[in-house]
Amino acid sequence: MFLAFCDLLRQLGKYGALAIASQNMDEVYRSVMTAADYLSILNDSAQIGTYKELLSNLGKLSHEVRAHKCVLQTLAQSYQPSLEDTDFTTLLDQGLHDRLQQQPYNPRNDERFREFMGVVAAAGGCAGEPDGVRQDEGGDELDDDEDFREADNGRTWVNDKCPLSMKEVLDLERPMKDPLNYVYEYTYIMAYLQPHPTGFKHPCAGVRQELRVSDLKPATDVIRAKRRQRLMQALNPTGPSGSNNADGRETAEDVIVV
């Protein structure tokens, strides 16, 4: 019984290590998306395959962490203690294997992978397909990433200006988006909605759907568009390179660390 308990602790430690690795992926993901911005601006398709493979591997690891957690939860609910030793390693490994067989990682369903493909589609990012990326759930090949390209290109927000601050969307300090893809300045939309926790009329004329604070989320596509805009300005070959320009313009390095 004691040996079985120690075995279970080892498995829990393995899951804990995977969970920590998964949490650290956020920083890696942000770096990958910065690289995606560079690739889309420079039309450098040669490096796209490498980043696609990296992001695919990160997605698979995250998927495995979630599967491992589900298997542990299932075992905790179904396990019946007994006087006989229990081989938790075998139980967990078999459970993980079965779950991954039933629900394999699919990049089509990976929001981060789709976001990356949307950004680099403008650079013709079809090179260097990693294993498992070219297959859909039925085993059919993806046709030159067309499914991913559909999610790309261009703006997904519907308004040119925040209806409350009247600032251009790409000039907003902290853009927030609602379910209808309207974008607002954070401070203005919060001041508008917070006195009405159960919902309030939509700030855009003609929209009947009420809006709540809980409906809002960061407008990541606007944030990314702003960063690409700044990168394009920083990478402008007509300006001097290296450190900040004398006229105050940013360099690419300045944009990356923001």
CATH 3.30.40.10 placement within the chain: 169-256
- Residue 236's pLDDT is 65
**Mean pLDDT computed over 30-47:** 75
Sequence-separated (6 or more) residues with CB below 8 Å from residue 133: 52, 53, 56, 107, 142
Backbone angles phi, psi at 234, to 5 degrees: -70, -30
- Residue 213's pLDDT is 95
- Residue 16's pLDDT is 55
Q: What is the pLDDT of residues 225-250, one digit of tens each?
A: 888 787 777 766 565 444 445 455 55
Q: Would you tell me how many other CB atoms lie within 10 Å of the CB of residue 125?
A: 28
Q: What is the pLDDT of residues 152-211, one digit of tens each?
A: 445 789 999 999 999 999 999 999 999 999 999 999 999 999 999 899 999 999 999 999
pLDDT of 8 strictly over 50: no
Superfamily of domain 169-256: Zinc/RING finger domain, C3HC4 (zinc finger) (3.30.40.10)
Q: Which helix (H) or strand (E) holds 3?
A: helix 2-42
**Mean pLDDT computed over 105-119:** 83
For every residue of 41-60, DSSP letters joined together read: HHT-GGGHHHHHHHHHHHHH
pLDDT-derived band at 252 (thresholds 50, 70, 90) equals very low
- Residue 173's pLDDT is 95
Look at the pTM and tell me if it is higher than 0.75.
no
